[in-house]
Amino acid sequence: MTRTVANGASNTAARIRDAARFLFARDGYAAVSMRQLAAEVGVQAGALYLHIPDKQSLLFDLLHENMESLLVAWDAEPRGEGPVGRLESFVRFHIRTHLDCPESVFLSNMELRNLTPENFRVIAGLRDQYEAELVAILQDGSAADKMRVPDANLAAKAVLAMLTGVSGWYRDGGRLSRERVERIYWNMVRRAVGA
């Protein structure tokens, strides 16, 4: 029979990453000690170093995985027709994925400053790639006279800030359903860019 889970080693590695994602998101990278992290995983501090080279690599790997999977997921996302359709797809995709893993999103937004300069450049590059997707949509929409954006770069930043903010307050089971949140945000974005 085939195994559906990995062996003990990589399982612990995965648990370390999960615990780190949770703790870093809640308390901040700098505020979480390796001892705390080990306790959360249920091992001793020294055992962590069998699975990760150091704390910085752990943060980098988490952020790197976040951005890569975001880009891959967007690449696989079905797009609407025309610039406006693609914009709606982007807005709904962004909100949906950000509500699906709020911890990862929070990490990616808060912990960039704790990356070493080299690691920062890598992650920032991936972020720029993602942002460029939105910029392209806005430029296409503008060129086709389907949107009114005097500055696509500025508009992209404004839209992304607005959308990303949703993971800061949305709670499942709250007053608003996800579909309703997606729809309201989409309406705001649509009007904001004059579509």
**Per-residue string for binding with DNA, 36-55, x by CB under 7 A?**
x-----xxxxxx-xxx--xx
Output the smallest distance, CB 105 to DNA, in A. 23
| Residue 184 binding result from DNA, a copy of itself, none, given CB thresholds of 5 to 8 Å by partner type | a copy of itself
In what helix (H) or strand (E) does residue 154 lie, and over which residues does it extend? Answer: helix 152-164
Cα–Cα dist 186/108, whole Å:
23
Inter-residue contact 41 to 34 (CB < 8 Å): no
154 binds a copy of itself (CB under 8 A): yes
Give residues 81-110 in contact with a copy of itself (rule: CB under 8 A): 110
Query: Three-state DSSP class for 95?
Result: helix
Calculate ∠ Cα 155-161-165, nearest 5°.
Answer: 150
| Residue 33 binding result from DNA, a copy of itself, none, given CB thresholds of 5 to 8 Å by partner type | DNA
Cα–Cα dist 55/119, whole Å:
13
Binding residue for a copy of itself (CB under 8 A) from 39, 85, 160, 178?
160
Binding residue count for DNA, defined by CB under 7 A? 21
Binding segment for DNA (CB under 7 A), chosen from 3-11, 68-76, 125-133, 186-194, is 3-11
Rg (CA), the chain: 19
Residue with tokens 């062996």: 7
Residue with tokens 């962004």: 94
Inter-residue contact 59 to 24 (CB < 8 Å): yes
| Residue 154 binding result from DNA, a copy of itself, none, given CB thresholds of 5 to 8 Å by partner type | a copy of itself
124 binds a copy of itself (CB under 8 A): no
Binding residue for a copy of itself (CB under 8 A) from 9, 11, 28, 179?
28
CA atoms within 13 A on the CB side of 150: 0
Instruction: Using CB under 8 A, list all residues that contact a copy of itself.
Output: 26-28, 30-31, 110, 113-114, 150-151, 154-155, 157-162, 164-166, 168-169, 176, 181, 184-185, 187-189, 191-194
